[in-house]
Amino acid sequence: MWSRIGNSYGQGSGELAQQRLATYCADTDIDVIPMAFLYQITTGIDGQPVVNFANQQNNCITFPGTGLLNCPEIADDIVTCQLKYKKTIFLSVGGATYTEGGFSSRDVAKQAAEKIWATFGPKQDESTLRPFGSAVIDGFDIDFETTMNNAAPFANRLRELMDSDATKQYFLTAAPQCPYPDIADDEMLSGGTYFDAIFIQFYNNYCGVNSFVPGSAEQINFNFETWNNWARTVSANPDVKILLGVPANTGAAGTGYLPVSGLGPIIAYCKQFPSFAGVMMWDVSQATSTTNNIQAQGSSGETNMASDDARVQNNKDFQLNELFNVKNKVALITGGGSGIGLMYTQALAVNGAKVYICGRTGEKLDTVAKTYSQDIPGSIIPITADITSKQEIQKLYDELEKREGHLDILVNNAGIMSDKTITTEAQTPEEMKKNMFDDDKNSFQDWDDIYRTNVSQCYFMSTCFIPLLAKATQHTHGYSGTIINVSSISGQVKTSQHHPQYNASKAACIHLTRMLANEIAQNEIKIRVNTIAPGVFPSEMTAGSSGANQKSAIPKDKYENKVPAARPGNDRDMASTLLFCATNTYLNGQTITVDGGYTLAAGM
């Protein structure tokens, strides 16, 4: 789709009378046409949005009692463009005449997106006023030109609604000015919103096409390279495409118009960057006389993203930093201050995530945050909480909601083991009863304490944080919030290992994971739930203590002649497992066993 030329329809035809939309769709050199503009979102008469198409109304009439146009001719042309000419038709939102300044809250922004979707997306009911009748546009182009409040929640909700319709492929684009960063759209462009492409306006600014120096490998003002770097390092979509936005003639912009001959070297320069995908011209009525010449200048031949294969995979998707990317993810880890929990904390924070660790001992958490937060791209933030209390869990939820507004990764790692071992070996039934029932060390209270931490808290933490985890997909397109419960091979092996209460609790955790994954999926909520079952790893639980750095060393007798790998698990073993579970969005309801072969030897 982004392979050649896009033209804006309705932005202003100047001296040339604007023709019907279908007229421009017949041009074989044009792939994309954004229709401009939807310039009132929330302040229109009777709460209806307002579109203008630069006052080129094409036989539109206003719905009674509103400022919303009813445009049956454009509706017919949209269908013609899509079916006959295979064009992609967007609706541009904003523009120079947009003055609402955004939305008063995140919720208002989302409600506005839902209204726009009902008005221009798939028809939902008979009561909604729809300018294009049953015709459905192919996406939205965000073109805010003044500083906005809550722009990202608005755009992200549109993205979410588009993704919810499996019958059609939609696209979300933006049209920033070339100065980087773009002030008006920075909330979305700084990684907050997943865009398929952006149409950068390289005119009316110091960085426009008229600042390009032909023959120079290093461009001082013309900053396409800067935007290419943005695409690869900042954008929520690292494969986002960039179109070179230019005015179609001298009347289309204050400054920045270049004749086609002047665009040729610029297009050739831009083609060296993998994000370059074509040219966007404002406006279509002024551009039709020049598109053939632009094609001759070499803007064709780039990736066709609107093919039946949709977003074409490329080699970059297989790079490790893409496969296991947790940059800018927000995580919460219970018991994240020592042992296996600390391994998880480091794995995420070192790779760019913001990691909240919680536990009962604030001093220990503070030490961990101070010790392990040095010189890493992410961060570690301690929060004291008792996660065996529903009231404390709710307070923790409220704090995360206030600070972040969403949660990407929840790791229920906190767990305890009784220091009371139960002898299970016996020569007679009476001896077995004496060992496993009569012994005062084995009590209901002991079982209750272990289940409260190892099972109940996993349930209550998971269910409490469902609303925040469900918002992860709005924050990062294509990502689903994930719950990772930490069980143990003790919940899988057939022996009690002399602590039946602990083993039973870990088996319950494994089944709880599968049950929660099913219940959440049945409610069509985009959250994955999986379990990691570690084998013999150094922790306070297995080693009995930890050093000042909250790391532990495990005695040799814990793994010798028990683990085929002939060693205990280490930080890298657990970190790689956690990153796999956190990033593989096709993994759900599963238990990942990391044990060096322990269960092979012990039996399950």
3-state secondary structure (DSSP) of residue 37: strand
Distances (CA, A) of 350 to 49, 325, 374: 45, 11, 10
Distances (CA, A) of 589 to 331, 355, 575: 19, 23, 20
- Measured over the CA atoms of residue 493, residue 498, residue 504 and residue 506, the dihedral's sign is negative
Distances (CA, A) of 517 to 127, 300, 414, 579, 591: 37, 46, 20, 19, 11
Distances (CA, A) of 370 to 30, 363, 366, 511: 56, 11, 6, 36
3-state secondary structure (DSSP) of residue 343: helix
Distances (CA, A) of 556 to 550, 565, 593: 19, 13, 21
3-state secondary structure (DSSP) of residue 133: coil
Q: How many residues does the chain have?
A: 604
Enumerate residues 6+ apart whose C-beta is below 8 A from 576: 347
For residues 531 and 505, the answer to whether their CB atoms sit within 8 Å is: no
Q: Is-catalytic flag, 399?
A: no
Distances (CA, A) of 443 to 356, 409, 421, 446, 448: 35, 35, 12, 5, 9
In angstroms, rounded to a whole number, what is the distance separating the alpha carbons of residues 39 and 32? 20
3-state secondary structure (DSSP) of residue 199: strand
Residue 216 is given by DSSP the state -
User: In degrees rounded to 5, what are phi and psi of residue 12?
Assistant: 150, 115
In angstroms, rounded to a whole number, what is the distance separating the alpha carbons of residues 503 and 488? 8
Going by C-alpha positions, the residue among 501, 575, 589 that lies closest to residue 534 is 575
Which is the catalytic residue, given 100, 145, 225, 401?
A: 145
In angstroms, rounded to a whole number, what is the distance separating the alpha carbons of residues 226 and 184? 18
For residues 488 and 412, the answer to whether their CB atoms sit within 8 Å is: no
Enumerate residues 6+ apart whose C-beta is below 8 A from 466: 520, 525, 527
In angstroms, rounded to a whole number, what is the distance separating the alpha carbons of residues 242 and 303? 11
**Helix, strand, coil % over all residues of the chain, rounded to 5:** 40, 15, 45
3-state secondary structure (DSSP) of residue 61: strand
Enumerate residues 6+ apart whose C-beta is below 8 A from 108: 42, 150
Tokens of 77: 């042309």
Catalytic amino acids?
145
